Amino acid sequence: MPDLSSPTPFTEVSTEEWKRVFDVNVHGTFYVTREAVKLFRRHQLGRIVNVSSASAERGGGVYGRAAYSGSKAALLGMAKTWARELGEYGITANSVAPGSIDTDIMGGRLTDERKEFLLQELPVGRVGTVEDVAGGIAFLLGRDGGYLTGVTLDINGGSHIH
């Protein structure tokens, strides 16, 4: 499922843009998860991992603003609710909250100059990769992550430490 960013400030977000971002990031996740849970319940086992964002935890981020951050915050709440409601069926629900990851979502805005600025703010000294995020998701989906539910795994190189 594609992720949808929105760099528009709150006071400038149109209703159409707000709905578009929530339709993809929140409603799309809801519909897919609702169908998957039917199968998970039958098998008494399942793993849900929502892809949120450090932007949701920070109240805005480097690239996403109100619509994006709000939609990603909704995913955190949904995963925590699902963790409580679905645990009895052997289903875990967690989230990952990536920070600055070098992907297409940055829309070509990760210039060399911007990368230099980001590196100054990242204790690990590098921008994240899709492999960094995939490793966290794989852990939560795997056997070793089976006792974790309702957690958010921050994959952000230390840009957001709480």
CATH number for region 10-155: 3.40.50.720
Write the pLDDT tens digit of every residue in 26-43. Answer: 999 999 999 999 999 999
Provide the annotated active-site residues. 68
Query: How far are the Cα atoms of 80, 86, 119 from residue 41, in angstroms, in the given order?
Result: 18, 8, 44
- 1 pLDDT band, cuts 50/70/90, is very low
Write the pLDDT tens digit of every residue in 94-143. Answer: 999 999 887 776 555 567 777 777 778 788 888 899 999 999 999 999 99
Query: How far are the Cα atoms of 13, 79, 136 from residue 129, in angstroms, in the given order?
Result: 29, 23, 12
> Is the pLDDT confidence value at 9 over 60?
yes
Going from N- to C-terminal start, the domains of the chain cover 10-155
